[in-house]
Amino acid sequence: MTGANGAGRYAPSPSGDLHVGNLRTALLAWCFARASGRRFLMRVEDLDRARDAGAAARQLDDLSRIGLDWDGEAVLQSELGRGHDAAIDRLAEAGLVYECTCTRADILAAPSAPHAPPGAYPGTCRDRSEAERARERQRIAPRRPALRLRVPTGMAAPEFDDRIRGRVVGEIDDFVLRRGDGTVAYNLAVVVDDAAMGIDQVVRGDDLVTSTPRHIVLQRLLGLPSPPDVEFAHVPLVLGSLGARLAKRDGAVTLADLRSAGASAEKVLAVLAQSLDLAAPGERVHPQLLVERFDPGALPRSAWVWPGLENAATS
Ligand code: GLU
């Protein structure tokens, strides 16, 4: 699919430095966008105010260092709050929002509904009367209720064609739109922001594939573009040597770590390209060359195990 008027994006959370797994996902998002003629936009997902303010700048710097570019300035998600509030108001006016006072422990302790996916919200607060809600608000004060989406009864669970995983059939529950502390939930923000930025191609790690059906539900309820007008590609994660998702405990995994161990950004790009079958071992590559070689159908479908600096540096 070409997207001359569309855009792809990368949306990092500035919770620390990007590691090679994040860089690889960003590289793929960039290749998907550029190879299909799309613009490529950057959005810093900084809604969680506890995050390190300097991390966003370092992340963007690292993305540039490996040769990625994006159109326009990076957008800060924290500046898009008005759109988030408007979307929640709109859903509330349609009767699709309710207050929830459950804690995580309440949810775990509640009997789950038959056929509900594991961990699904059991619906405890869904049908409370106004009087019950007022009592609940008092009961949990000073904590405040979260807001959940009331998924319309009988709404079919969305299915979509993922560019990497093929047909995905989703499961949905009444998920949180706004947390009790007032922070807008990722699932709401991502949908509103992608639509506001004109994103029609979402490439991200496949740990988020189970969230996408929720996003499609919101797109439909808010009248925003959804598949097939928006395409999704959930890319395999990078694993550490113990088989779990790559993390700091796996040693030198950020660009800064690798630089101090003697690996240049060009070298890291080459190793990532090789892991995607876009470069031969030891070949030095330029990002534009990767766009020319890029074929979504030929991408590896399984997770890549980070070989460690010594092996990456000698491959
Ligand atoms: N901010 C999310 C993350 O870093 C990615 C969200 C997305 O791409 O939709 O995991």
102 annotated among ligand-binding-site residues? yes
pLDDT of residue 225: 97
13 Cβ closer than 6 Å to some ligand 1 atom: yes
Q: Using the mean position of ligand 1's atoms as its centre, give its distance from the Cα of residue 241 in Å.
A: 23
Domain boundary among 187, 217, 245: 187
Which of 44, 59, 208 has most ligand 1 atoms within 8 Å of CB, for mutation?
Answer: 208
Residue 247 annotated as part of some ligand binding site: no
Which residue segment(s) compose the domain that 87 sits in? 81-187
Within 10 angstroms of residue 113's Cβ, the number of other Cβ atoms is 12
43 shares a domain with 105: no
**193 falls within a domain:** no
**125 among annotated binding-site residues:** yes
Distance (angstroms) between ligand 1 centre and the Cα of 258 equals 23
Counting atoms of ligand 1 from 1, which one is nearest the CA of 12? 4
Cα gap 11→155, rounded to integer Å: 29
Buried b (16+ CB within 10 A) or exposed e, 64-80: ebbbbebeeebbebeeb
Looking up residue 242, the CATH number of its domain turns out to be 3.40.50.620
Amino acid at 111: P
Distance 208 CA to ligand 1 centre (A): 8
72 and 159 housed in the same domain: no
Residues 106 and 166 in one domain: yes
| Cα 134 to ligand 1 centre (Å) | 35
Give yes or no for residue 101 CB within 6 A of ligand 1. Answer: no
Same domain, 56 and 107: no
Is the same domain home to 255 and 182?
Answer: no
Which tokens is 235 given? Answer: 């890319």
The verdict on 165 and 98 lying in the same domain is yes
Overall residue count recorded for the chain in this entry: 315
Q: What is the pLDDT of residue 226?
A: 97
**Ligand 1 neighbourhood includes 190 CB (under 6 angstroms):** yes
- Does residue 286 lie within any of the structural domains? yes
Q: Is 248 marked as binding a ligand?
A: yes
Apex 234 CA angle, 230 and 240, nearest 5: 160
Residue 31 annotated as binding? no
Report CA torsion sign: 246, 250, 253, 256.
positive
pLDDT tens series, the chain, 315 aa: 456 789 999 999 998 899 999 999 999 999 999 999 999 999 999 987 666 779 999 999 999 999 999 999 999 999 999 999 999 999 999 999 999 999 999 998 888 777 777 788 999 999 999 999 999 999 999 999 999 999 999 888 899 999 999 999 988 999 999 999 999 999 999 999 999 999 999 999 999 999 999 999 999 999 999 999 999 999 999 999 888 999 878 888 999 999 998 899 999 999 999 999 999 998 999 999 999 999 999 999 999 999 887 776 554
260 CA to centre of ligand 1 in angstroms: 27
Residues in CB range of 157: below 8 A, 6 or more apart: 169, 170, 171, 172, 213
Same domain, residue pair 65 and 117: no
CATH number at residue 89: 3.90.800.10
User: Do 86 and 74 belong to one domain?
Assistant: no
Say if 303 falls within a structural domain.
yes
Atom index in ligand 1 nearest the CA of residue 203 equals 8
Together in a domain, 70 and 110: no
Q: Count CA atoms within 13 Å of residue 227 on its CB side.
A: 19
The reported pLDDT for the residue numbered 49 is: 65
Diameter of the chain measured on Cα atoms: 68
Residue nearest to atom 6 of ligand 1 (CA): 11
Q: In what order do the strands lie in the sheet with 75-76?
A: 75-76, 39-44, 7-10, 199-205, 231-235, 159-162, 166-169
In terms of domains, do 183 and 85 share one? Answer: yes
Q: How far is the CA of 189 from the centre of ligand 1 (A)?
A: 11
Amino acid present at 207: D
Contacts of 116 (CB under 8 A, 6+ apart): 122, 173
Name the token pair of 161.
């064609």
Give me the pLDDT at residue 88, please.
Answer: 98
- Give the neighbor-by-neighbor strand order of the sheet with 146-149: 97-100, 146-149, 176-178
Kindly report the pTM of this predicted structure.
Answer: 0.94
